[in-house]
Amino acid sequence: MTEVLRAVSDALAATVEMAGSGVVRVEARRRLPASGIVWSPDGTIVTAHHVVERDENIAVGLPDGQTVSATLVGRDPTTDLAVLRAEISNLTPPAWVEPDSLRVGHLVLALGRPGQSVQATLGIVSALGESWRTPAGGRVDRYLQTDLVMYPGFSGGPLVDAAGAVLGLNTSALLRGISLTVPTPTLHQVVETLLTHGHVRRGYLGVSAQAVRLPKTLVEELGQETGLLLVSVEPDGPADQGGLLLGDTLVALDGQPVRHLDDLLALLSSDRVSASVPVRIVRGGLLQEVKVTVGEHD
């Protein structure tokens, strides 16, 4: 039994050492530094948005003890992600893996480097779910919750599987009191967008809306029980320019049903910005269709 425990202990230490070579310290706020993950050898670092409290005078502490200057490439508050570029090359990115094979109960490690050396904590996957939308409106490909203790400065660091591959980025800011991980697929999408555009493009219509039940005849015709009642329309906004009116009920956008506000937010993706899309509405009890050019959220 002792030999088994020693072997497991040695394996965990080797995993931390291997994955830790891709974990850096991020100095971008007054209090304790946070952590980041090497994205590519050219100095690109991904970290948590909420730990980057300033846009200038950012420093990154490397595994070899060096501290180098870094600049902010871009950030996405809705998924709590930020991208930095450190003034160095030949960094060692970790191996990345998608969390498709994860099951509740699997052992995982959280790594951080708020100080000079890498730190680690062990736990299990406590909950898994489908894609979800954060309170700020960002889409995350998978709900991934662990029971890991997020020590101060661990936000922005990686969640690592038993083989040492990175499953995603840990954050304590998406949902209060819950340790969540932004999974690898979401990271790839957001990071590549930030590297290309400096921000994540998000569409908007310029409306406020609330879900309402549809009349029985429309429920049978549309195959959906609810739509979105427009309770305000921004003057000269995309919806206003497209002819949408206060009191219209939006039931579909670009051919996709809209039952709740989350449906609309999901459909206002970056690929629809500046596109003219058909919007199906109920006005005066009758179905109508108008064309609206999706705007870009500031």
Question: Residue 221 belongs to a domain with what CATH number?
Answer: 2.30.42.10
Q: Do 71 and 31 sit in the same domain of this protein?
A: yes
Tens-digit pLDDT profile for residues 224-241: 999 999 999 999 999 999
Q: Do 26 and 143 sit in the same domain of this protein?
A: yes
Q: Do 160 and 221 sit in the same domain of this protein?
A: no
Q: Do 185 and 218 sit in the same domain of this protein?
A: no
Q: Do 100 and 245 sit in the same domain of this protein?
A: no
pLDDT score at 266: 80
Q: How far apart are CA 205 and CA 54, in angstroms?
A: 31
Q: What is the mean pLDDT of residues 134-158?
A: 92
Q: Hey, what are 265's tokens?
A: 């937010």
DSSP assigned state of 96 = B
Q: How far apart are CA 46 and CA 261, in angstroms?
A: 30
Closest CA to 205 of 166, 172, 231: 231
Q: Do 121 and 223 sit in the same domain of this protein?
A: no
Tens-digit pLDDT profile for residues 164-189: 999 999 999 999 888 899 999 999 99
pLDDT score at 164: 93
Whole-prediction pTM: 0.80
Domain count for the chain:
2
Q: Do 75 and 214 sit in the same domain of this protein?
A: no
Q: How far apart are CA 209 and CA 195, in angstroms?
A: 33
pLDDT score at 201: 81
pLDDT score at 107: 96
Question: Domain boundary at 180, 197, 214, which?
Answer: 197
CB atoms within 10 A of CB 5: 9
Q: What is the mean pLDDT of residues 10-25?
A: 95
pLDDT score at 269: 80
CA distances from 17 to 35, 245, 292 (A): 16, 60, 53
Closest CA to 95 of 158, 154, 149, 10: 158
Report whether pLDDT(156) > 90: yes
CATH no. for residue 141? 2.40.10.120
Report whether pLDDT(157) > 80: yes
Per-residue pLDDT band for 51 (boundaries 50, 70, 90) equals very high
- Which residues are identified as catalytic? 50, 80, 155
Contact predicate 273/295, CB 8 Å: yes
DSSP string, 1-14: -HHHHHHHHHHHHH
Q: Do 170 and 117 sit in the same domain of this protein?
A: yes
Question: Domain boundary at 181, 197, 213, which?
Answer: 197
Instruction: Give the percent of the chain with pLDDT over 70.
Output: 100
Q: Do 60 and 159 sit in the same domain of this protein?
A: yes
Query: Residue 224 — φ and ψ, nearest 5°?
Result: -145, 145
Q: Is 130 exposed, middle or buried (0-12, 13-18, 19+ CB in 10 A)?
A: exposed
Q: How far apart are CA 245 and CA 264, in angstroms?
A: 17
CB atoms within 10 A of CB 1: 5
Question: Domain boundary at 197, 227, 256, which?
Answer: 197
Q: How far apart are CA 158 and CA 37, in angstroms?
A: 7
Q: Do 146 and 17 sit in the same domain of this protein?
A: yes
Per-residue pLDDT band for 80 (boundaries 50, 70, 90) equals very high
Q: Do 155 and 237 sit in the same domain of this protein?
A: no
Residue 256 DSSP SS3: strand
pLDDT score at 8: 87
Contact predicate 61/118, CB 8 Å: no
- Domain holding 223, by residue range, is 203-296
Q: Do 286 and 184 sit in the same domain of this protein?
A: no
Q: How far apart are CA 245 and CA 240, in angstroms?
A: 7
pLDDT score at 227: 96
Q: What is the mean pLDDT of residues 59-69?
A: 96
Report whether pLDDT(134) > 90: no
Query: Residue 259 — φ and ψ, nearest 5°?
Result: -105, -35
pLDDT score at 230: 97
pLDDT score at 202: 83
